[in-house]
Amino acid sequence: MILKRHLNDRAASMLTKYPMIAVTGPRQSGKTTFCRQLCPGYQYLNMELAENQQHARQDPHHFFQLYKGGVILDEVQNVPELFPYLQYYTDLRNEPGEYILSGSQHFLLLEKITQSLAGRISIFNLLPFSLEELKGSPWEKNTWEEYLRTGFYPRIYEREISPTDFYPDYLQTYVERDVRQLLNVSNLALFRNFITACAGRTGQLLNLAQLGSDVGIDVKTVKSWFSILEASFITYRLQPWFRNFNKRIVKTPKLYFYDTGLAAYLLGVRSATDLESHFARGALFENFVINELLKNQFNAGERPQVFFWQDSNANEIDLLFDRVTSQSIVEIKAGKTVHPDFFKNLKLFKNLNPAASGSWVVYGGDQMQPRSDATVLTWKDLASLT
């Protein structure tokens, strides 16, 4: 069974307006399947294959004369020399939807697109399955704990692979393949320790010096290695939102993983019951909810403008949607019983910023509740938070 991804209709629409679209996302997020399902009649070329790279580099003009009129170039960041020729031939032929590009190295791909293809391409981020995509499928689960520890990589569901089998292979492939490709990391075991240390800081302010001290590497190396995790869609930074409320506001980003299954595996979670007393239960649930809200926006073809807010007294809003003239705020709590403390920071923020137009509490329980201070949503109802 292959699920139709929610990004499909938006991407299909942009193919009628631009000569190219680009689909980026983590390895194993389903990009190749998505592209081939989107345009089953297109020629498909995997640009990780040496023969395709050699042809493209040695004779790019012949390459684009041969492959035209509907082509998927998968993992195209492996041949950055192609981008000026893509610009030339799509301008020359002026056909909508001629090429679909895909890549699993986010910033490398976008850098080349920015340089060569600006105004000629529509860019999409395809993350692993979302809760909304899995609803009503045979793979739908009953608890957030089971989703969180399983993660959302399509292969886990489509091939019925246990997370305890999938993630060791994913890590080994990622470390041996992408890390060595992007940067010459000589000590792969140390890099694995670094990823695990990042998982232990999920939902925390990103202190590069402390992270390096704990792992035994300098700050320069931390920055370099962290850039690899970001470029490969392993981790991301949630930036702080700050305005002058006559208080000191935190201006350091927070660290999250693109998939909670990987973070949970790195932290020793092997079953849903392991989360009951795990030290990172709350942080992983927060990561899980933020990921789903990001996926919903990406799948709608939107560029999320999301932040967190925290002051010097540790008063915090877990997620803030900035809509220029107003802000919507979200508190995220893993607890399964609604508690008055859930609303404290929401009320504080609204007093400081009257432009806050909507407020929600997302919690680990199963009952939606309209309250005077905020709308209480369950983890299953995230699609209603817009």
Helices 188-199, 208-215: inter-axial angle, 10-degree rounding: 130
213: number of Cβ within 10 Å: 13
As averages over each run of 10 residues, the pLDDT of the chain (386 residues) reads 91 97 94 97 97 97 97 92 93 96 76 80 94 96 97 97 96 82 81 95 96 95 92 93 70 95 97 95 98 95 90 91 86 94 92 85 91 90 86
Residues 280 and 321 in one domain: yes
Range of the domain at 103: 8-125
Residue 318 main-chain phi, psi, to 5 deg: -65, -35
Count of structural domains within the chain: 2
One-letter amino acid identity for 218? Answer: D
Q: What is the pLDDT of residue 323?
A: 80
Q: What is the pLDDT of residue 42?
A: 98
DSSP 199-212: HTTTTSB--HHHHH
Residues 181 and 108 in one domain: no
Q: How far apart are CA 346 and CA 374, in angstroms?
A: 8
Q: How far apart are CA 157 and CA 60, in angstroms?
A: 39
DSSP 62-94: HHHHHS-SSEEEETGGG-GGGHHHHHHHHHHH-
Domain boundary among 106, 125, 144: 125
Q: Is the dihedral of CA 321, 199, 148, 162 positive or negative?
A: positive
Residues 220 and 281 in one domain: yes
Q: What is the pLDDT of residue 248?
A: 67
Q: What is the pLDDT of residue 107?
A: 56
Residues 357 and 261 in one domain: yes
Residues 12 and 91 in one domain: yes
